[in-house]
Amino acid sequence: KQEVTQIPAALSVPEGENLVLNCSFTDSAIYNLQWFRQDPGKGLTSLLLIQSSQREQTSGRLNASLDKSSGRSTLYIAASQPGDSATYLCAVRRRGQNFVFGPGTRLSVLP
Protein backbone atom coordinates (compact mmCIF):
# COMPACT_ATOMS: atom_id res chain seq x y z
CA LYS A 1 0.00 0.00 0.00
CA GLN A 2 1.35 3.40 -1.01
CA GLU A 3 1.97 5.78 1.87
CA VAL A 4 2.93 9.42 1.45
CA THR A 5 4.50 11.59 4.13
CA GLN A 6 5.46 15.24 4.12
CA ILE A 7 8.06 16.98 6.22
CA PRO A 8 7.86 19.38 7.91
CA ALA A 9 4.23 19.44 8.98
CA ALA A 10 4.44 23.20 9.42
CA LEU A 11 6.98 25.85 8.50
CA SER A 12 7.25 29.54 9.26
CA VAL A 13 9.77 31.71 7.40
CA PRO A 14 10.42 35.42 6.91
CA GLU A 15 9.59 36.93 3.56
CA GLY A 16 12.29 36.57 0.91
CA GLU A 17 13.70 33.25 2.09
CA ASN A 18 14.15 30.29 -0.21
CA LEU A 19 12.61 27.12 1.18
CA VAL A 20 12.25 23.41 0.48
CA LEU A 21 9.26 21.19 1.19
CA ASN A 22 9.72 17.43 1.23
CA CYS A 23 7.49 14.57 0.13
CA SER A 24 8.32 10.87 0.59
CA PHE A 25 6.49 7.84 -0.75
CA THR A 26 6.94 4.16 0.03
CA ASP A 27 6.31 2.57 -3.38
CA SER A 28 8.65 3.86 -6.07
CA ALA A 29 6.58 2.40 -8.93
CA ILE A 30 4.71 5.65 -9.46
CA TYR A 31 3.19 7.00 -12.64
CA ASN A 32 3.43 10.65 -11.73
CA LEU A 33 3.53 13.07 -8.82
CA GLN A 34 1.59 16.30 -8.47
CA TRP A 35 2.09 19.22 -6.09
CA PHE A 36 -0.91 21.23 -5.00
CA ARG A 37 -1.56 24.34 -2.97
CA GLN A 38 -4.61 24.65 -0.70
CA ASP A 39 -5.75 27.87 0.94
CA PRO A 40 -7.80 27.54 4.15
CA GLY A 41 -11.28 26.20 3.50
CA LYS A 42 -10.71 26.07 -0.24
CA GLY A 43 -10.10 23.51 -2.95
CA LEU A 44 -6.73 22.48 -4.36
CA THR A 45 -4.77 24.40 -6.96
CA SER A 46 -2.40 22.40 -9.13
CA LEU A 47 1.16 23.70 -9.05
CA LEU A 48 3.33 21.18 -10.88
CA LEU A 49 2.94 17.70 -12.34
CA ILE A 50 6.03 15.52 -12.76
CA GLN A 51 5.81 12.38 -14.88
CA SER A 52 7.73 9.30 -13.75
CA SER A 53 10.22 9.78 -16.61
CA GLN A 54 11.03 13.35 -15.55
CA ARG A 55 13.46 14.59 -12.93
CA GLU A 56 12.06 18.07 -12.38
CA GLN A 57 9.54 20.68 -13.40
CA THR A 58 9.67 24.44 -13.04
CA SER A 59 7.01 27.12 -12.96
CA GLY A 60 8.00 30.65 -12.05
CA ARG A 61 9.49 30.64 -8.55
CA LEU A 62 8.61 26.98 -8.04
CA ASN A 63 10.79 24.00 -8.86
CA ALA A 64 9.82 20.41 -8.12
CA SER A 65 12.21 17.48 -8.33
CA LEU A 66 11.54 13.76 -8.35
CA ASP A 67 13.83 10.90 -7.33
CA LYS A 68 11.81 7.73 -7.81
CA SER A 69 14.51 5.37 -6.65
CA SER A 70 14.68 6.99 -3.23
CA GLY A 71 10.94 7.70 -3.07
CA ARG A 72 11.33 11.45 -2.70
CA SER A 73 10.19 14.71 -4.19
CA THR A 74 11.03 18.24 -3.16
CA LEU A 75 9.25 21.50 -3.86
CA TYR A 76 11.59 24.49 -3.88
CA ILE A 77 10.09 27.95 -3.48
CA ALA A 78 12.37 30.85 -4.27
CA ALA A 79 12.10 34.30 -2.74
CA SER A 80 9.03 33.46 -0.66
CA GLN A 81 6.20 35.99 -0.34
CA PRO A 82 3.35 36.32 2.17
CA GLY A 83 0.97 35.29 -0.61
CA ASP A 84 2.69 31.90 -0.67
CA SER A 85 1.20 31.12 2.75
CA ALA A 86 -0.94 28.02 2.33
CA THR A 87 -0.87 24.25 2.79
CA TYR A 88 1.19 22.40 0.18
CA LEU A 89 0.17 18.84 -0.67
CA CYS A 90 1.90 16.24 -2.77
CA ALA A 91 0.07 13.33 -4.36
CA VAL A 92 1.48 10.26 -6.09
CA ARG A 93 -0.20 8.03 -8.59
CA ARG A 94 0.51 4.45 -9.57
CA ARG A 95 -0.43 3.17 -13.01
CA GLY A 96 -4.07 2.20 -13.06
CA GLN A 97 -4.71 3.68 -9.65
CA ASN A 98 -5.67 7.02 -8.26
CA PHE A 99 -3.84 9.65 -6.31
CA VAL A 100 -2.62 9.05 -2.77
CA PHE A 101 -2.10 12.33 -0.96
CA GLY A 102 0.28 13.30 1.80
CA PRO A 103 -0.99 15.20 4.85
CA GLY A 104 0.49 18.49 3.67
CA THR A 105 2.95 21.10 4.89
CA ARG A 106 1.41 24.28 6.32
CA LEU A 107 3.56 27.23 5.24
CA SER A 108 3.48 30.70 6.77
CA VAL A 109 5.55 33.46 5.19
CA LEU A 110 5.87 36.40 7.53
CA PRO A 111 6.10 39.95 6.14
Mask of contacts with other proteins, 4-23, x by CB under 8 A?
x-------------------
- Of the candidates 18, 78, 103, 108, which one interacts with other proteins according to CB under 8 A? 103
Tell me if the bond preceding 103 is cis, omega within 30° of 0. no
- Of the candidates 14, 60, 83, 96, which one interacts with other proteins according to CB under 8 A? 96
Q: Which is nearer to other proteins, 45 or 108 (CB)?
A: 45
User: Torsion angle, CA of 81/86/28/3, rounded to 10 degrees?
Assistant: 150
Q: Check residue 98 for interaction with other proteins (CB under 8 A).
A: yes
The residues near 14 (Cβ < 8 Å, ≥ 6 apart) are: 109, 110
Distance CA(51)–CA(3), nearest Å, equals 18
In whole angstroms, what separates CA 31 from the centre of its chain?
16
Stretch that binds other proteins, among 12-20, 36-44, 57-65, 72-80 (CB under 8 A): 36-44
Task: Kindly list the residues in this chain that would bind other proteins in the complex (CB under 8 A).
Answer: 4, 31-32, 34, 36, 41-46, 49, 51, 89, 91, 93, 95-96, 98-104
